[in-house]
Structure 1
Amino acid sequence: MTNQDGATAQAWQALGGAAELAERVGYRGPSGLEGPLPVRELARACVGVCGLAAAELAAVRAGGTALDAAPVAVDEGAVATAFVSERHLRVEGRAPVSFAPLSGFWRAADGWVRTHANYPHHEAALVRALGVPGTPEAVREALAGRGAVQAQELVYAQGGLAVAVAEGYGEPQPLVERVRTPGRGRVLGPGALPAAGVRVLDLTRVIAGPVATRTLGVMGADVLRIDSPRLPEADDAYADTGFGKRSALLDLADAGDRGVLEGLLEGADVVVTGYRPGALERFGLGADELLERWPGLVVAELCAWGWRGPWAGRRGFDSLVQAGYGIAARCAGEGGVPGALPAQALDHGTGYLVAAGVLRALAEGGGCGLRFSLAGTASWLVREVPGAGAGVPGYSAEPWLREAASGYGALRYAAGPLGDWGRGPSRWGTDEAAWLRR
């Protein structure tokens, strides 16, 4: 088992943990993650610090201190499999479609553009901005006649998602931003699992945030995801990340539904948000407002591009941040065609970091604001994570694949690297918007 891992020490320090504890995380087994950047090292470190944060919380809840945290052993095969969980998912034997036909790299007049059109409203915005039919051929022709940045801004102005592929790495971003507040959270006594009895209100979508809350669920938390009925979710995406939580719909423009959400906040210990900066503030649900009204909460915010700078308010996904941050160019293949990391590592890695930050904040007593971003994880990957990005021979996903019943039928899925997810997900939006009884 490998100890003394540099990336683990870096991530643990960023989370505010005691430096000597990082040595208690060890890694074993082969890994299938490799490429021109140290994704293997990033992935295992994110999972490792999450496991260590859980051990720290368990020790504190048992009446000890953080220094009583038990050692953590992480299997790299489980990490590699979990980081590409969407590729292993089967829904009633069917493989999901990860990227829609209009999502991908397109040659522009002076470079490359990456588009993301997996959701119908983003696809509609893309073709509306370009003024073409919704076919790959029409999009290819339209983008070929425009500059990459010109196309990026044109599509963004219409509410779509397109990013010019950057040749150099983006501006440095912090991996974690921690903001303490005067309030204190509920005192947590001993529990069967590290986060047993903790109530997590999940206001996230797509991959990074749902991975974080799925992980908190496997740690014993009561996780309730709330979405707007105006913004449908893709069934396959929720089938992959909906383990360990329940899902309900509330329309914040409706007074009755808003009252239900207020009641949920009264009983919550943790709120995790995954919308771009400013999106929730218009509903009075920004971190500052939440911590002012409920000073004992742990509020973890997640966004794509970071919390300052001209791109802070923009929508984004892992693939777009890879393109805009210089990673896609670094992973380019033959003919200079941009490439991608061997996993959506910004999403998955950030998800485990968010969960780790929440667990650490609970161990410290709550009353804490945390900020994470895909760009922050990208900045860490390209500038600080030590390692060569080489996999370890002998990796196979098979030992980490499981089957379970779900609201979508029989699922084959990737097990969690810190414990199996447990029950399969219900169908998105079909649960009651209420906490389970403690």
Structure 2
Amino acid sequence: MGSTDESTPSNGLVDRTGFSVRDIIRDVWIGIGLPETALESLILPGEEDTGPIVPSSFKVGTLAHACLALAALSASQVHALRNGGIRVPNITVTRRHAAIEFKSERLYRLAGVNKPLEHQSLGGLHRTSDGYVRIHDGFPNHVKAILGVLGLPEDATREDIAQKTKNWASIDLETTATVDGNAAAYALRSTQQWDSLPQSKAIGNLPIALKQLAPGERGWSSRMHPDQTRPLKGLRVVELSRVIAAPVSGRTLAVHGADVLWVTSPNLPDLPSLDREFSRGKRTIQLDIHKTADKRKLLELIRTCDVFIQGYRPNSLARHGLSPEELVKANSNIIIANLSAFGPQGPWSGRRGFDSLVQTCSGFNVSEAEHAGQGEAARVLPCQALDHGAGYMLATGIMAAVHRGACEGGAWQVDVSLAGVMKYLRSLGQYPGSEGFQCDDFNRPEDIPEGYFETNETGYGTMTTVRHAASIEGCDVGWEIMPKPLGSDKAEWLLS
């Protein structure tokens, strides 16, 4: 198994090209301060297969296997501790199933029909005077912002945008859009160009950063009593997020029994194809934090929660009185979990970003295209690997904070970024040449045996979805709450 020469000390990457899935799990597990003995509880069918499982030069299948296993093992660790320090129950995650779950939003069926994801009408890759930029148009405010930067009216077409972008240099358009224009657009770079940027140096070498914010009493919430078959039963989670990455983290906590309240804004549109998938296991409420009453309700929930997940830019919630300092004042044992594009450090820390944009600006799209050898300027990964990887890593970090809070006390902060997951995935190396593309893909439900799915009645009708890839010995793993329209529930906690 080979790798490219991009994973060298000169570019700041740790060389993990020889890492197995167990090596990855150990690397992250020890890095966030969890007991090494728990690693004996891993059962990983398919781990001996180190070849590609989805078509990519990057080791996406290995990352998926490690991410799902890390999340399950951290849940098992919490379960063992809350039950008096028993042996950590064995967890089982198969490689193929993990890779399939990394594509879950593309594979569900509603009333027997697999509906494709909404396609961007204005965004995507656009030519510039010296290359390309990728524009994100997932929300109306992003569309309005990029049209403003380009001097176009609201009814502009994709062709209108193309005529404008070709007159811009890529970096100039990126800078104007992201720094001054509140848009989401990034230049297509090579890995070498990315490595030369200060932001690339500001991203840590581990995908999870965990730190204690303030000291406090050790122990559990009274709701986290023993003798449960659900590892996170009694854990209260407020999730303020949209799209994929942060919602994956909340969905992962919910599959292990946490009470997750997904808070979305009534000012943003629904994203039906994504919201249906990532609301599994959650209750859903809508609050407008610009309104005094809604903000008061959110703060009330935060004061009585265990975990606060937010998927917005670093410091963007501070102007609403939701800085880490204010949150700790409100709740002295809170776990604050942040999911961002570029992390809390570096000149790009305040920039908007999404999976596709991080792939674009970091050299992933260019490197994928070069390895595929089809003459493309850019090729995207076969799934939202940065989104999914970051979501599972954030859930792992949260559960590590739950464990360490019980043992050490205090308030904790977890930081995970799309760029951090990108950097870690890149450090695993790449398959040589086009070898990584010599495999089948899971593009349709028909490509996957029925045993990987489960069917439930939801607020949208009968829904068949990818079953969770992890199991924990002696525990019930699964979603108890099914998807429903946003804002369907009350802003209150379940009794426990």
TM bucket by the smaller chain? over 0.9
Alignment of 1:77 with 2:96, yes or no, is: yes
SS in 2 for 1:46: helix
1:411 and 2:433 correspond: no
**Which shifted more, 386-395 or 376-385?**
386-395
Q: Which of residues 341, 352, 356 is equivalent to 2:381?
A: 341
Partner of 1:257: 294
Query: Over residues 398-423 of structure 1, what are the superposed CA-to-partner deviations in whole Å (9 max), with x where a residue is unaligned?
Result: 33123322222332322222244344
Which residue matches 2:16? none
Comparing 141-150 and 120-129, the one that deviates more: 120-129
From 147, 164, 179, give the equivalent of 2:211: 179
Asked if 1 retains the 8 angstrom alpha-carbon contact of 2:459 and 2:483, the reply is yes
Partner of 1:437: 495
- Equivalent residue for 2:81, pick from 60, 63, 70: 60
Name the counterpart of 1:140. Answer: 162
Per the alignment, in what secondary structure is the counterpart of residue 105 of structure 2? helix
- One-letter amino acid matched to 1:182: P
TM-score by length of 2: 0.82
Query: Which residue pairs with 1:160 in the alignment?
Result: 183
Do the aligned residues in 2 keep the contact of 1:108 with 1:145 (CA within 8 Å)? yes
Instruction: Report the CA distance shift for 1:421/1:34 in structure 2 as closer, same or farther (over 3 A).
Output: farther
* TM-score when normalising by structure 1: 0.92
Q: Distance in 1 between matches of 2:144 and 2:492?
A: 35
Aligned ranges for residues 289-438 of structure 1 at < 5 Å?
A: 289-332=326-369, 333=372, 334-364=374-404, 365=406, 367-384=411-428, 397-398=448-449, 399-418=451-470, 419-438=477-496
Structure 1 stretch displaced more, 423-432 or 398-407: 398-407
1:273 corresponds to which of 310, 318, 327? 310
2:261 counterpart SS class: strand
Spell out structure 1 runs of 4+ moving beyond 4 A: 384-396
| One-letter amino acid of the counterpart of residue 5, structure 1 | R
Q: 1:40: how far off?
A: 1.3
2:107 aligns with one of 78, 88, 98 = 88
Deviation at 1:158, TM superposition (A): 2.8
Q: Distance between the aligned counterparts of 1:129 and 1:144, measured in 2?
A: 14
CA distance in 2, matches of 1:39, 1:7: 13
In 2, Cα distance between the equivalents of 1:267 and 1:293? Answer: 9
Task: Report the 3-state secondary structure (helix = DSSP H, G, I; strand = E; otherwise coil) of the residue aligned with 2:77.
Answer: helix
Q: Indicate the residue corresponding to 2:68 in structure 1.
A: 47
The 2-side partners of 1:269 and 1:349 are apart by 23
| Cα distance in 1, alignment partners of residues 66 and 133 from structure 2 | 31
**For 1:125, which of 128, 145, 152 is the aligned residue?**
145
Of stretches 271-280 and 324-333 in structure 1, the one that deviates more from structure 2 is 324-333
Alpha-carbon distance in structure 2 between the residues aligned to 1:217 and 1:196: 9
Number of aligned residue pairs: give it: 435
2:115·2:273 contact (CA, 8 Å) conserved in 1?
no
C-alpha displacement of 1:384:
4.4
Alpha-carbon separation, structure 1, partners of 2:319 and 2:81: 37
Residues 6, 385 of structure 1: 8 Å contact kept: no
Q: Which moved more, 1:20-29 or 1:324-333?
A: 20-29
1:392 deviation in Å?
Answer: 7.7
User: What displacement does 1:354 show?
Assistant: 0.9
CA change 1:387–1:36 in 2 (3 A) is: closer
In 2, Cα distance between the equivalents of 1:138 and 1:28?
51
1:183-202 → structure 2 map (5 Å cutoff): 183-184=216-217, 186=221, 188-190=224-226, 191-202=228-239
Distance 1:386 1:147, change over 3 A: closer
Per-residue deviation, 1:4: 6.7
SS at match of 1:405: strand
1: distance between equivalents of 2:140 and 2:386?
A: 23
**Cα shift at 1:3:** 8.1
Aligned-residue identity in percent: 31
- Uncovered stretches (5+) of structure 2, i.e. residues with no partner: 1-18, 471-476
Asked if the contact 2:54/2:441 (under 8 Å) is kept, the reply is: no
1:11 aligned to which of 28, 39, 52: 28
Between the aligned partners of 1:311 and 1:352, the Cα distance in structure 2 is 23
Cα deviation 1:133-186 (Å, max 9, x = unaligned): 532222222222221112223333332211001212441422121111202452
